[in-house]
Amino acid sequence: MVWCSGWRLASAVSNAGGLGLIGSGSMHPETLREHIQKCQAATSNSFGVNVPLLYPEIEKIMSTIVEENVKIVFTSAGNPMTWTGFLKDKGITVVHVVSNTKFARKSIEAGVDAIVAEGFEAGGHNGREETTTLCLLPLVRDMMNIPLLAAGGIGSGRAMLAAEALGADGVQIGTRFAASIESSAHENFKNKLINLGEGETILTMKQLTPVRLIKNKFYQQIAEAEREGSPADELKKIIGKGRARKGIFEGDLDEGELEIGQAASYIKSIKPAAEILLEIWNEYEVAKKTLIGRTT
């Protein structure tokens, strides 16, 4: 949720009864500090910070989190052994995001409090195995007993119910909130994503770190380079720096990296986060009643 989930979205979700997360992946440490403080001022409910562990300023990010008294940290895109102990020692609840059972096992060994199992359909950074949420959840569920959250393709109440059926205790929702009023994404990006059809996102950059994004002009450049057999170094040059900022935050739909999940094809409106949460909850309740009432 880089460039989408700042203090506005995180506090709105927490105020509406969810657990809001500040996405630190797009923030320098001092920006993150500001977002944490503003979030604390905007909600008295719990919220957390998501930290991609491959982040270059990771040490400063972690010390900022501790200094600002954050209680919950979601780590992703890296080895859970590196930071879990540090955070747990400070009394922080640690949740790690995984895309396979190998890293789920590592997370448990590292002592995390919960695991997010994120499937192939998720936006942004993703796993190399391409295992979908439907196939991944039961595998992770069967290997451990700590709380399991589902991510990837969960943009609706029905998907939340399906995740529960597969053994999840809860869900992590990104894409749906990227199209919220409180999302800090550019209007161009929000409007683009509520008009996306099936097959308009793709998991790409598999030679580097796989990322799901919208098939725009920037993607076509990467795809062409890949078709021509360009090595990783050349791809890195084409990608350059600041592409996600350019696309998601500045709204350059051609030259920016437009990270979003497959669930976007289900989203047709930009709404306040609280309304989105209520809508998901209501759909979940209806779907559950329907399921219980079935006489299969």
Q: Which residues contact 243 (CB under 8 A, 6 or more apart)?
A: 218, 255, 256, 257
Where does 82-136 show beta strands of DSSP type E? 93-98, 114-118, 124-125
Q: Give the x-and-dash track for 246-275 against its own copies (CB under 8 A).
A: ----------------xx-xx---------
Which of 41, 54, 208, 291 binds its own copies (CB under 8 A)? It is: 291
Using the rule CB under 8 A, is 136 a contact of its own copies? yes
Looking at residues 181 to 220 of the shown chain, list those that interact with its own copies (rule: CB under 8 A): 198-199, 202-203
Which of 34, 68, 129, 279 binds its own copies (CB under 8 A)? It is: 129
3-state helix, strand, coil in the chain (%, to 5): 45, 15, 40
Which of 78, 111, 147, 167 binds its own copies (CB under 8 A)? It is: 167
- Taking CB under 8 A as the binding criterion, the range among 14-22, 51-59, 108-116, 225-233 that sits at the site for its own copies is 225-233
Taking alpha carbons only, the member of 235, 182, 229 closest to residue 210 is 235
Using the rule CB under 8 A, is 287 a contact of its own copies? yes
Which of 111, 138, 147, 251 binds its own copies (CB under 8 A)? It is: 138
- Side-by-side strand order, sheet with 201-204: 124-125, 211-214, 201-204
- 131/172 with CB nearer its own copies: 131
Q: Residue 269's CB: how many other CB atoms inside 10 A?
A: 11
CB of 166 closer than 8 Å to CB of 150:
yes
How far is 275 from 130, CA to CA, in rounded Å?
Answer: 32
CB of 40 closer than 8 Å to CB of 16:
no
How far is 192 from 8, CA to CA, in rounded Å?
Answer: 21
Place of tokens 């879990």: 84
- 73/154 with CB nearer its own copies: 154
**Closest separation between CB of residue 190 and its own copies, Å?**
19
Using the rule CB under 8 A, is 145 a contact of its own copies? no
**Closest separation between CB of residue 143 and its own copies, Å?**
12
Contact positions vs its own copies (CB under 8 A): 100-102, 119-121, 127-136, 138-139, 152-154, 156, 158-159, 161-167, 198-199, 202-203, 227-229, 262-263, 265-266, 287-288, 291-292, 294, 296
